[in-house]
Amino acid sequence: MPLQNKKSSTYSSIKSILASKQKLKPANQYITREFQDFGYQIAEKLGDLPHKALYIKMAKMYPRSLLDSAMSFVSDYPKAQNKGRLFMWKIKQLKGLMKTTPTMGKKDGGGDRKSLE
C-alpha cells in the first residue's frame, strides 16, 4: 500500500505558532506572597486598582479577620459610590473597637515571665 502525501491547504506562519505556544503572563505577575495576593483581591473587589499598593500594605500589617469583616461590610452596600472610602472608614472604626475592647485572659496587658515566678 503506497503512502499518501497529505498536503494541508492552510499553513500557519511561524509567528502565529510561537505566539500560541508562548505562555501568557498573568496580570499580577509580580505577586509572590500570600498577603500580596490578598491585598490585590481587596483592590479588585473594591474596584480601586490604582491604590492596590495601599491594600497590599494593609494586608501585611493588619489581621486578616479585621480586613475580612470590613470587606463583608462593604459588600453589603452594592450601591456605594466610593467603596474604597467606605472600606477605610470601616477599618478605622474596627481598629477603634479593638483598642477599647479588653482582651480576655490578660489582667495587666500581659507581663513578662519574671512576674509569674
Written as one string, the DSSP assignment of 57-69 is HHHHHS-HHHHHH
Q: Which cell numbers in the block locate residue 28?
A: 499580577
Q: Which cell numbers in the block locate residue 61?
A: 500589617
Domain ranges of the chain: 27-101
Going by C-beta distance under 8 Å and a sequence separation of 6 or more, which residues neighbour residue 87? 42, 46, 70, 71, 73, 74
pLDDT tens series, the chain, 117 aa: 556 555 556 887 887 777 776 654 455 578 889 999 999 999 999 999 999 999 999 999 999 999 999 999 999 988 889 999 999 999 999 999 888 877 655 555 444 444 434
The whole model's pTM is what?
A: 0.62
Nearest Cα to Cα of residue 59 among 46, 40, 81, 79: 40
